Structures are given as C-alpha cells and as structure tokens.
Amino acid sequence: MSIGDRFNQFVGKTRYVVSRIFIHLQGKEVAPLLGILNQNARMAVDADGDMAVMGESLVNICEGILQYRTYWQSASNEGDVFWNEGDAGDFVTELFTDSAQRYLSQPDLEDVEENTPLSLPVTDNIIVMITVAFEGEVQEIETDLADMSALTDGLKALISLNYKDKYRAIALHFSPARLGEQLTSDQILINFPELIPL
C-alpha cells in the first residue's frame, strides 16, 4: 500500500476497488453455460439496477463457471483502486462500455420467435466478462488471476463479497451472447488480445 493509500485509510476515506475479469471457456460441453448466462442476464436487466438481484445473478454465474472449471482455457483481469466514489463510477462506466462493445457481446433479450429452428449451431468458445466495484480490500480479486487456482479463489471471493453487502456496481457481459452465434479462435485472438492461457 502506498503512502497516499495509507493516509486515505487513516483519515477514514472509503476504498473502492473496480475490477474486470475475463474468462475463456472452450469445449463442445460449454454450450449449457450460455443458458445460465442468458437467464441471469435477463434477471439483471429486469432488476433495473437492484444490487440484491444483480448480486444473485453474479453468484449464479460464478458458480456456473466454477462447475465448468475443466474447460477454462485462458483468463485475464484488470482494475484499479479509488478513494473517490465518482472516479470509481467513471471507471466502471468505461469498462462497461468496452465490454458491451466487444465482439458478439450483446444478448438477445427478446422472447424467442415461434418459428426459430430447433437446431442451431453450437459454439465451443465462450468468454465471460465480469466487472465489479466494491468497498474495501479483497486480495483474492486484486491479484493476477491468469492462473487456475488464483482464478478459482477470485470467483469464490466474488461470491463471498455478495453476502457482505460490499458491492457498488456489477456488470456481466459474455461472447457470444446469442444462441446460434459462434466465436472462433481467430475472433478471440483479434477481439480479446488480453487473454493469457491458463
């Protein structure tokens, strides 16, 4: 911790952490995770910013990702610490906007059409982007998560944080976000260059 951070802590300022985690899962068996992601994306949108519902959606997604640990391919994370809530909010907005603009990351929140074909191509690549802002300090999240055990601990810490009422913002994005869309290895290299193999 820097001298400035220690001083801010000493004078009782609130410490805000903003973090974004990328997780790439690969394999024919990961397709059901897309259903979990879409279901929780709908819950989050319907909640209209309700942190209790957003937190529950995040827990469901983290638990789903942990269940598919065998298929983790690569990961990365980034973030920063702020002592001003407005600055933290600005950084959340920046990361949210970037995640939303990533390749094939816009979910289809409309009801499925009646004449949708029963058979759709299945993707064997899914990238999940989790952006959070919380109060306090959580070492398991504020470290390099491009490692199987560190990522496992980080996801468990995200779940735990939900029950401590420390979240100030949660954003969930994933690619591909719609059934029938496929994400190829080349598209991952071009659109998600920060990923590091696990």
pLDDT in tens, 158-194: 999 999 989 999 999 999 987 778 888 999 999 999 9
Phi, psi for residue 14 in degrees, rounded to 5: -80, 135
Give me the number of domains the chain comprises.
1
pLDDT in tens, 2-45: 565 655 665 668 999 999 999 999 998 998 898 899 899 888 88
Query: What pLDDT, on the 0 to 100 scale, is given for residue 182?
Result: 85
Which pLDDT does position 80 carry in this prediction? 97
176-194 b/e with 16+ CB inside 10 Å = b? bbbbebebeeebbeebbee
Predicted local distance difference test score (pLDDT) of residue 117:
52
| AA identity, residue 174 | F
CB 70 within 8 A of CB 105: no
Q: What domain range includes position 142? A: 16-108+123-197
Is 1 a member of any domain? no
Look at the block and give the residue holding tokens 């949660």. Answer: 170
114 found inside a domain: no
Rounded-to-integer distance, Cα 181 and Cα 14, Å: 42
Query: Does a structural domain hold residue 86?
Result: yes
- Please check the confidence at residue 119 and state whether its pLDDT lies above 70: no
Residue 116 lies in a domain: no
Residue 3: inside a domain, yes or no?
A: no
Higher-pLDDT residue of 47, 1: 47
> What is the Cα–Cα distance from 93 to 166, expressed in whole angstroms?
18
Report yes or no on 4 lying in a domain: no
Q: Is the bond leading into 176 cis (omega within 30 degrees of zero)? A: yes
Would you say 22 and 192 are in contact if contact means Cβ atoms under 8 Å apart?
A: yes
* 115 in any annotated domain: no
> Per-residue pLDDT tens for 42-61?
888 888 878 999 999 999 99
Residue 5, in any domain of the structure: no
**E strand or H helix at 174:** strand 167-175
* pLDDT value of position 163: 92
- Beta-bridge mates of residue 5: none
Q: How many CA atoms lie within 13 A of 148 on its CB side?
A: 8
